[in-house]
Each structure stands twice: as C-alpha cells, then as structure tokens.
Chain A
C-alpha cells in the first residue's frame, strides 16, 4: 500500500506569477543559447521545404526518445533519389543540434557567357551554435522531370565548393559530390557538403557558396533549369536548402543552475 500511495503522488499545476513567467522565459532562452526571443521575418509561413524537413526530423527524434532504445532513427526522411547518401539514422541520434539554412543567393550563368551552364547557391552560416562541431552537412535539391523528352537519358550532377572568385576568369572550385540520375526522375537529391561547411565554419569570409553543373553522358553541359533542378523560384515546399548536423564538444561544461 505504501508503494501504491507513493506512486500516486500529487501532480499540482499552478499558475505562474508574472515574475516567475519572465524568469522561466529567460531560463528557456538561456538553455537554447539565445540572447532574446528570435523574430523571424516570415516565421510560421508553412509549408516550406526546410521547416517541413526539420519537422520530420523532430518527429523522428521524439519517437526515438520515447523508444529510449538508442537504436538510431530508422524512419525515411524526405525520401530521396540519391543512391549514395548514407542513412541518416545514426547521424540524427548523435546530433545535439541540427540547423537548416535558407538559400540566400542564387546565380545562374549569364546568357551572354559561353557554356557550361551552372547555378550557384549560398548559405549564411555566421550564426551557428558555439562549441559544436559539424558531423554531416547536406545540400538538398528538388528535381522534377526533365523538360527534354528523353526521360531515360542519364544526367550527371556535380556540386563544387567555390574556393575563390576572380574578376575576369572562372572561380577556383573543388568537387564536393556528384550524382547520376535519369532525366525522368523526380524527387529530392542529396549532396554531401560537409567539407565545405567545415571550411565556412572555420572562416566565414571564404564562404563563396556552391556551384552546380549538369552534364549528359557525352559530357555536354545541360541547363540545370531544363534538367528539372528547382531553385528559389520553385514552390516553397520544393526550394533548395542546406541541413547541418552538429555535435557538442565533449569538454563543454554546462554551468550550474
């Protein structure tokens, strides 16, 4: 009877006073590492690709916490066309923070310039959490069916980090990842951009963005838009974004509260 009475201990819900409420708000913001409450310009504008993807991640994390098994997340997240991208289960389990970045800039090859065609993307990584290191960074793009009628044609998509830009010549690039898909395929493409995000974290002034090229089997350059690659002007739920997984460094000391 002791155990029975004891487990049925009282759960009291009381209304907080104004001061307690303000203190609690400050405490929650402090735990989240925020100086004040964020004021997103377009907050709550659903559906958009990055928040939807992050919500999917959130649900996966919550179900993992409920299971409490530590087996990792096995649920597919934003089913992708990419065959090379590893399952995110272990990455999600180990992550302390996940951030999605909105594409800030999107440049296309100037129509007066010679081929090849390309498309550039840029993400602002200046406001990243302190004391955490990147484990994985992914660039996610949506591809619709190609506008060409040759749907079974293979397309080779490559993502480069722009190392340095020059005024009158091509920028210095380094290959990050590539993917080969059918022109008729439709869905999300995932590219590993971990190396680039690590560079940008170390030195944000060298963040010149990512450049994308599309080629066919003959090595001919294809206009990314004609290949079905969607950009900033796409529907909100299909816009490109970058997602980065962070892990807190082990020697990080949490202050006593």
Chain B
C-alpha cells in the first residue's frame, strides 16, 4: 500500500495546499485541497479585560496554545508524532470506516496558578497541574 501511495504522491508533490503543510505520504488523500493542516495558535486570557482584577490578585492574564486543523504526520525524517498516531493514520487509510483519523492531542502541558479573593475576603491560591497546553501532537 505504501509503494502505491508513494508513486501517486510524486505526481502531486508540488501543489501543497498550505505553506505550513508538513510533508506526508497521505497528503493528497488525507488532506484534500482547501483543508488546513494542524496549526498552533496562542490564546491570551486577560483577567484585566474581563474586569476581574477586583477579585483576581494574580496573574493579570495568561497565554495558552491550542491547535486547529487536521494532523498530518511525516513518515520520513522529522517524525515527532507518536508511533501510535502514525499507526492509526495508516490503519485509517486502509479501513476508513472502522478506524477514525488520528486527532491532534496535547503532548506537553504545564501548570498554572491563580490567586484570588472569595466572598469572605479569604485568599485562595489554586494550582492547576497539566492545564496550559505547551505543544500538541502535530508540533
């Protein structure tokens, strides 16, 4: 199956639909023209903009990443996705009805802490482990 794919891939290799698109053996089948491969975005949550600084002491806001788009795993040199996801992509290709596509998932998460007042003027410091996404499977 891979041999056949490689032959077909050589024909369409030049017309990548997106500048950030990763080289993949599945490109022409898995991600049709017009669809986006997974991109990493940054979202800044501003407690100041929310008008919450009367009860949130710190931080004033925090930034987190999120991913949007479809995963496309390179099977050649720069392979940083998990083998499981690559395997799932392969099996999906062969049996698309029974095995779903591999979805992008966070691979690195960090903690974040918030310091705030409650209604009784007590102060609460809450630490959330594995809360902020630093990277995802595609990146």
Chain A residues with CB under 8 Å of chain B are 2-3, 5-7, 9-13, 21, 24-25, 28, 31-33, 37-44, 50-51, 54-55, 57-58, 61-62, 65, 68, 95-102, 124, 127, 129
Q: Contacts A6-B78, A11-B42, A32-B126 known; A38 to B118 CB distance under 8 Å?
A: yes
**Contact between B52 and A37, CB atoms less than 8 A apart:** yes
Chain B residues with CB under 8 Å of chain A are 19-20, 22-23, 39-45, 50, 52-55, 57-58, 74, 77-78, 110-129, 131, 139
Question: A91 to nearest B CB, angstroms?
Answer: 12
CB-CB under 8 A from A42, the residues of chain B are 121
Q: Contacts A43-B54, A58-B58 known; A9 to B39 CB distance under 8 Å?
A: yes
**Contact between B114 and A32, CB atoms less than 8 A apart:** yes
Interface centre among B53, B113, B118 (most CB of A within 10 A): B113
In whole angstroms, what is the CA distance A43 to B127 when docked? 21
CB-CB under 8 A from A58, the residues of chain B are 57-58, 113, 115, 125
In whole angstroms, what is the CA distance A98 to B116 when docked? 11
Interface centre among A10, A58, A102 (most CB of B within 10 A): A58
CB-CB under 8 A from B127, the residues of chain A are 61, 95-97
Q: Contacts A3-B78, A9-B20, A43-B55 known; A96 to B117 CB distance under 8 Å?
A: no
In whole angstroms, what is the CA distance A21 to B128 when docked? 21
Q: Contacts A10-B41, A43-B54 known; A65 to B113 CB distance under 8 Å?
A: yes
16 inter-chain pairs at a CB distance below 8 angstroms, sorted by A residue, are A10-B20, A37-B52, A38-B55, A39-B55, A40-B121, A43-B55, A43-B117, A54-B123, A57-B125, A58-B58, A68-B110, A97-B124, A98-B124, A99-B122, A124-B120, A129-B124
**Contact between A9 and B55, CB atoms less than 8 A apart:** no
In whole angstroms, what is the CA distance A10 to B74 when docked? 19
**Contact between A100 and B122, CB atoms less than 8 A apart:** yes
**Contact between A11 and B119, CB atoms less than 8 A apart:** no
Query: Main SS of chain A's interface residues?
Result: mixed
CB closest residue in chain B, given A61: B113
Question: B79 to nearest A CB, angstroms?
Answer: 11
Question: B80 to nearest A CB, angstroms?
Answer: 9
Given contacts A54-B123, A55-B58, A58-B57, 9 further A-B contacts (CB under 8 A): A2-B22, A9-B20, A11-B41, A24-B45, A37-B55, A40-B54, A65-B110, A100-B123, A102-B120
In whole angstroms, what is the CA distance A102 to B122 when docked? 6
CB closest residue in chain B, given A99: B124
**Contact between A13 and B117, CB atoms less than 8 A apart:** no
Interface centre among A9, A50, A51 (most CB of B within 10 A): A9
In whole angstroms, what is the CA distance A79 to B124 when docked? 21
In whole angstroms, what is the CA distance A11 to B134 when docked? 13
Cβ 8 A contact of A55, one of B39, B57, B111, B128: B57
CB-CB under 8 A from B20, the residues of chain A are 5-6, 9-10
Question: B108 to nearest A CB, angstroms?
Answer: 11
In whole angstroms, what is the CA distance A209 to B77 when docked? 66
In whole angstroms, what is the CA distance A31 to B132 when docked? 12
In whole angstroms, what is the CA distance A221 to B22 when docked? 78
